[in-house]
Structure 1
Amino acid sequence: MTPVLDLQHVNVARGDDVILHDLNLLIQPGEHIALLGPNGCGKSTLLKTITRELYPLVEPSMKVEIFGRERWDLVELRQRLGIVQSDLPGQPILKCTGRDAILTGFFSASTLWPNLVVTPEMQERTDHVIEQIDATHLVSKIFGEMSAGQQRRILIGRALAASGAAAGNQATLLLDEPSNALDLKAQHELRELMSSLAQIGTTLVLITHQISDIVPEMQRILLMRGGRIFADGTRAELLTEQSLTDLFGVSVHLTEIAGRYHAW
């Protein structure tokens, strides 16, 4: 199968500083991956490189392919790659209903502007996604009146709707610190949703520094520090007190219950 992502010898600069150094990363369809690292390690720069907001330094050995292609129209890429961030996509979405907020994902828009045409296929896809994310109770609720956890659920649905819309494409989600600003109940619901999406084959790439966000289905762990992925292995290999202590530079204590980890 064509890889979701193939990065080889990638260096990325922001201003005068090189942030990513000789980075190599291969992600296959259907994988469930957690990328873990402290603040400032380069996680956000890597995300922006994947979404084509940043471009690597041009070097002979460098390679960046997304779904087997080097060049993308950004609107087209958004229809294959769903991105979930803690920031809202734009203030107009606050006035949308939950259903309309999901529909905006097809257009990478912050609201359903009058010039946008919602097709029957988009409506059908949205109905399917609403069932997937268990959000039938939110379809008529105003987005700006939802709790942070409910908003995050709708934003995941928004990303799912677009990324799996093209015929024959399994949805691929990039989740960037998705549990930020969520209370304990909302964190639990988010993790349950990630597990259910993984179980139906959605490709998930979680970028986080919260060990508790790594659901049991995420069997591949990447550790990042200083702009480099320095470890790529299984949960058993890398989710240990010693490896996390080395990663974060502080003594880490770890517990595991039913495949879920908690660190302090």
Structure 2
Amino acid sequence: MKPPLLELRGATVYRGAVKVLAQLRLSIGHGESVVLLGRNGSGKSTLLKLLTREIYAVESEGIKVSIFGQQRPVVAELRRRIASVSNDQQQQFEPNVSLRGAVVSGFFGSNGLYHFQNISAEMLTAADQWIERVGLGGLGQRLFHQLSTGQQRRALIARALVAGADVLVLDEPTSGLDIAATASYLTLLDELLAGGTAVLLATHHIEEIPAAIERVVLFDDGRIVADGSKQELLTDATLSALFGMALVVQRHGQRYRLAPLEGEQGAGNAESAD
């Protein structure tokens, strides 16, 4: 049996004098897909940065932070095995690299290509295959900055997965996307999950939760307040408490939607016939 992707016991993280994660206990299995749900500033993104070793937990007796079974993993190895996509990464990416070059850069963990990097024919072939897979076929020579926001986000998914990562980490993946681009992006996530890609998704929108992901971990004020299935946790009472306002959860097939409670109406948790 392979060691878990992440195992935390008493993990606490400070940024300056502010405690942003407090005494986290969490285990995410190898190949398991999980949604981290909570308000902005609740600690979701910090947990992802703890996973990718962009930040570190307090070290003390009894505290454990283990990634792929290692408490001191090699960062270069993590970058190969954990592929991440975020809005910040998109903003910082080299704008004048081609789409094809952007995807190839995933083999090097860089935000663009540089003259000292040795690119093989196999890398180019793999990049072209992933460009097709994410629905950007025919755009390989277009510059990154010439792509739409949604196309750039798809390109970064291709870049993230081209080198064979074990897990795809997504932080607020539909931030900045319009309705059509969001729908297209979520369809791509469904396809990747169906193909066996493990996804760790941080969001505050339950509409973004893919049908194939069952486990949800709820964050509030730097703490995990609940960990369970969508059916258990995506309820009116639980999410109203989490987001601090009266809300109604609506279910449409395997998708969920959140709406404010209007007066006394709204039965909540209603499932449509489709």
* Normalised-by-shorter TM-score class: over 0.9
Residues 91, 229 of structure 1: CA spacing in aligned structure 2 closer, same or farther, 3 A cutoff? Answer: closer
CA distance in 2, matches of 1:64, 1:133: 34
Report the more deviating stretch, 83-92 or 242-251. Answer: 83-92
Q: How does 1:107-118 map to 2 (within 5 A)?
A: 107-118=108-119
Q: Tell me what 2:155 maps to.
A: 154
Of 183, 189, 206 in structure 1, the residue corresponding to residue 201 of structure 2 is 206
Shift of 1:92: 6.0
* Aligned residues: CA RMSD: 1.6
The Cα offsets for residues 142-179 of structure 1, whole Å up to 9 and x where unpaired, read as 110111100000011111113x1xxxxx6311100010
Q: How does 1:19-98 map to 2 (within 5 A)?
A: 19-89=20-90, 93-98=94-99
113-122 or 128-137, which moves further after superposition? 128-137
Query: C-alpha displacement at 1:90, in angstroms?
Result: 6.3
Distance change in 2, residues 1:92/1:156 (3 Å)? closer
| 1:114-141 per-position Cα deviation (integer Å, ceiling 9, x unaligned) | 0011123322332332233222133222
Against the structure 1 CA distance between its residues 71 and 89, is the aligned structure 2 distance closer, same or farther, given a 3 Å change threshold? farther
Which residue of structure 1 aligns with residue 266 of structure 2?
none
Question: Structure 1 pair 65/122, CA: closer, same or farther in 2 (3 Å)?
Answer: farther
Matches within 5 A, 1:1-264: 1-89=2-90, 93-162=94-163, 164=164, 171-264=166-259
TM norm structure 1: 0.93
Comparing 70-79 and 181-190, the one that deviates more? 70-79
Q: Structure 2: 5+ residue runs without aligned partners? A: 260-274
* Stretch deviating more after TM superposition (125-134 or 31-40): 125-134
Instruction: Give SS of 1:57's match.
Output: coil
What CA distance in whole angstroms lies between the structure 1 residues aligned with 2:240 and 2:106?
39
Of structures 1 and 2, the one scoring higher in RCO (CA 8 A, sep 6+) is: 1
Q: Percent identity?
A: 40
Q: Name which one, 1 or 2, has greater alpha-carbon Rg.
A: 2
Moved more, 205-214 or 14-23: 14-23
Contact 2:90-2:152 within 8 A present in 1 as well: no
Q: Deviations over 1:175-219 (max 9, x none)?
A: 000100100000001110111111111110100001110010110
Q: Which whole-Å CA distance do the structure 1 matches of 2:230 and 2:132 have between them? A: 30
Judged with a 3 Å threshold, the aligned counterparts in structure 2 of structure 1 residues 124 and 70 are, in CA distance, closer, same or farther, namely farther
Partner secondary structure for residue 48 of structure 1: helix
**1:137 alignment partner, SS class:** coil
Shift of residue 61, structure 1, vs aligned partner: 1.2
Equivalent pair of 1:37/1:208 in contact (CA under 8 Å): yes
Distance change >3 Å, CA 215–CA 73, structure 1 → 2: same
Sort the Cα spacing of 1:89 and 1:257 in 2 relative to 1 into closer, same or farther, 3 A. Answer: closer
Asked if the contact 2:81/2:167 (under 8 Å) is kept, the reply is yes
Q: Does structure 2 conserve the Cα–Cα contact (< 8 Å) formed by 1:143 and 1:151?
A: yes
Residues of 1 paired with 2:20 and 2:91: CA distance? 28
Normalising to structure 2: TM-score of the pair? 0.89
Q: How many residues align?
A: 258
Would the aligned equivalents of 2:170 and 2:200 in 1 still touch at CA under 8 Å?
A: yes
Contact 2:240-2:246 within 8 A present in 1 as well: yes
The one-letter amino acid of 1:71's match is R
Residues 90 and 110 in structure 1, CA contact (< 8 A), matched pair in contact too: no
